[in-house]
Amino acid sequence: MASRVGLDRAAVVHAAIDIVDREGVEALTMARLAASLGIRVPSLYAHVPGQAGLRRELWMWTVNDLGERLRDSVMGRSGHEALAEFATAFRYYARDYPGRYQLTLSPPDPLDEEALDVGRRANTAFEAVIRSFGLTGVDAVHLGRAVRAAIHGFVGLEARYALGPENVDESFGHLLTLLSRGLAPADVVAATG
């Protein structure tokens, strides 16, 4: 196979994402990727520095992709509405793109400054949701982690069919209500309790 004219890093990443979307993360090998591009494996090294370099590029692409979708979901929203839209967009991303979602859970090691910047940008939507509840500082960090863990846990269990087939959307709604109550300022919670 000859090298393709005009092939660049972005084209390699998009071809890899296509394989992940269609066949899953496990199917993505350098040989599989090279074959899909119509080139030999050594030619890939002109665009990505091996499997670890490819995984770094894929992590950055998918985290950025997810971050953009999440930012769009919360634009102009606050409080429970923002949390519900954020969590729903997150859930649908994991459901519609399970391979991509799996890639977001495997950051490059070590995390270099470029990768850290991608992660920070992707996290701006979540930070906006947490701020919309009036949380800042250490409280925002700890409660944000708890909320993220709850959403990720639900999404992970749902993906493995561990929640059962009935009323899963309703259960997700209850989770979001519970999380919103937990994020509300203490005086608001006391007034409604």
| Closest by CA position to 141, among listed 149, 132, 125, 130 | 130
Q: Kindly report the CATH number that applies to the domain delimited by 1-48.
A: 1.10.10.60
105-129 pLDDT, tens digit each: 999 998 999 999 999 999 999 999 9
State the CATH class of domain 51-184.
Answer: mainly alpha
- Residue 1: per-residue pLDDT: 43
Average pLDDT over residues 84-88: 98
| DSSP letter assigned to residue 39 | S
Question: Can you state the angle between helices 79-96 and 124-132, rounded to 10 degrees?
Answer: 150
| Helix (H) and strand (E) counts in the chain | 11, 0
Q: Tens digit of pLDDT for each residue in 46-79?
A: 999 999 999 999 999 999 999 999 999 999 999 9
- Taking the C-alpha atoms of residue 83 and residue 81, their distance in angstroms, rounded to an integer, is 5
Cα–chain center distance at 133: 22
φ and ψ of 165, to 5 deg: -90, -15
CB atoms within 10 A of CB 191: 9
pLDDT given at position 5 = 59
Q: Residue 6, by phi and psi: left (phi above 0), alpha (psi -120 to 50) or beta?
A: left
Domains of the chain, by residue range, sit at 1-48, 51-184
pLDDT at 26: 96
